[in-house]
Amino acid sequence: MKRISFKLNFVLTTLFVIGTGFFLLWVSNSFGGYWDRIITLMGIYGIMAVSYTLVNGVTGIFSLGHAGFIAIGAYTAALLTLPIQQKAMSFFIEPLIWPLNSIQMGFLPATIIGGLVAAFAAFLVGYPSLRVTGDYFAIATFGFAEIIRIVIQNSYNITNGSLGLKSIPPYTTIWWAWGWLLVTVIVIGSLKFSSYGRALRAMSEDTVAARAMGIDVFKHQLISFVVSGFFAGIGGALYAHWLTTIDPRPTSLGIMLTFFVLIMIVIGGLGSISGAVLGAIFFAFFAQWLRIVESPMNFFGINIPGIPGMSMLIFAIIFILIMLFRRKGIMGKDELSWQYIYNYFSKKAGDQD
């Protein structure tokens, strides 16, 4: 089988990125606000899914705490970009503490600070949690995410408690979302294919053997967890400025969001970065498309009432069917590289001979 050279790969990938850019430009100009919002959401979900698959797929430890880091990124960035008068208006139960009440900064620094705070939280969560393995790790990270959510819910002088933050400036455009997605994919992709990534994959296959080869398992897992937390925070910051209203209910920035991102990466294939992006696009698209099922419709003169909640039920069924019959999802652990496409088609051609 022919290997595609590095130069060709680089050129094709650059062309692909530029092509995607023009496609996004075309879509946002010609379809207007609604699709613009959906495609922006695809990019945001993509960032969340790629960062989640780094931990749950590539590293092979199973975290259920992703929403906690997303929430931290969302709240940090939103508190930094909210206009000062708006803060004074929203925080009517208890005033916002200094210095947050007198800061207002641009979107880019706020997003990066959101990511850094989330990464620091990931360090604080990961350091103790990584001492346990398997499903205990899943439960410990879930517990931390719930603690984060409950603290947000009760800290009226920092996060406005259960009232949430309103009127966050709608800064997140298609370009911010997909630009950050590109950064996420480049960083996590280089991680996956560096010697560091090979160590991660070795650990996910067999932790004990990897340790015997001299890999510091704890350190590698912690780095992967912190990087994942950073991009989860970035995703959260973009998400907050897309939603413009955030609150700490379990259904908004709680376990439900972790479920959604888990569905994306299971559909895409655990451990595949391109799979995670595809899963995120699929999820965002169908979640919108399935709204048809939930609204009343007129079918040959018969009125079918809308069924609320139907779209989530369909996702749940897809999710279980994938786990039962095609555990690899779309991509398995592979990446949608030019080599992969070339191999796929040359295999097809070979079959026909």
Partner 1 sequence: MSSSNLIQDIINGLLLGGLYALIAIGYTMVYGILRLINFAHGDILMWGVYFALYAVVALSMPWWIAFVIGIALAGLLGFTVEKVAYKPLRSAPRISSLITAIGMSFFLESLAVVVWGGIPKSFNIYPKFFNRTLIFGHVRIQMLTFFILGVTFILLLAVLWLLYRTNTGTAMRAIATDIPTTSLMGANVNNIISLTFIIGSMLAATSGIMWAMRYPQVQPYMGFVPGMKAFIAAVIGGIGSVPGALVGGFLLGMTEIIVVGLFPNLAGYRDAFAYVILIVLLMFRPTGIFRVYSEQKV
Q: How far is the CB of 275 from partner 1 (least distance, A)?
A: 15
Instruction: Report how far apart, in Å, the C-alpha atoms of 132 and of each of 27, 105, 138, 139, 140 are.
Output: 46, 39, 9, 10, 8
242 contacts 304 by C-beta, under 8 angstroms: no
**Which run of H or E residues covers position 297?**
strand 297-299
Give the separation between CA 245 and CA 169, rounded to whole angstroms: 9
Which positions lie near partner 1, rule CB under 8 A?
60, 62, 64, 128-129, 131-136, 138-140, 142-144, 146-147, 150-151, 153-154, 208, 250-251, 255, 259, 262-263, 266, 307-310, 312-313, 315-317, 319-320, 323-324, 327
Give the separation between CA 66 and CA 149, rounded to whole angstroms: 12
Q: How far is the CB of 140 from partner 1 (least distance, A)?
A: 5
Residue closer to partner 1 by CB (options 65, 114) is 65
**DSSP single-letter state for residue 92:** -
Q: How far is the CB of 327 from partner 1 (least distance, A)?
A: 6
How many other CB atoms are found less than 10 A from the CB of residue 31? 12
Residue closer to partner 1 by CB (options 198, 249) is 249
Residue closer to partner 1 by CB (options 157, 337) is 157
Q: How far is the CB of 81 from partner 1 (least distance, A)?
A: 27
Residue closer to partner 1 by CB (options 150, 183) is 150
Residue closer to partner 1 by CB (options 143, 189) is 143
Give the separation between CA 250 and CA 67, rounded to whole angstroms: 10
Q: How far is the CB of 353 from partner 1 (least distance, A)?
A: 36
Residue closer to partner 1 by CB (options 297, 323) is 323
Q: How far is the CB of 263 from partner 1 (least distance, A)?
A: 8
243 contacts 294 by C-beta, under 8 angstroms: no
Contacts of residue 161, Cβ cutoff 8 Å, sequence gap at least 6: 93, 152, 153, 154, 155, 248
Q: How far is the CB of 259 from partner 1 (least distance, A)?
A: 5
Give the separation between CA 315 and CA 28, rounded to whole angstroms: 27
Give the separation between CA 227 and CA 188, rounded to whole angstroms: 8
Q: How far is the CB of 20 from partner 1 (least distance, A)?
A: 30
174 contacts 44 by C-beta, under 8 angstroms: no
Q: How far is the CB of 308 from partner 1 (least distance, A)?
A: 6
Place of tokens 């995607």: 20
Residue closer to partner 1 by CB (options 39, 262) is 262
Residue closer to partner 1 by CB (options 88, 320) is 320
Quick one: which of 96, 333, 73 has its CA closest to 204? 333
Residue closer to partner 1 by CB (options 112, 158) is 158
AA letter at 43: G
Helices marked H in the chain:
6-30, 33-53, 66-81, 84-90, 107-129, 134-154, 156-159, 174-192, 195-205, 207-212, 217-243, 250-253, 255-268, 273-289, 291-294, 310-325, 338-352
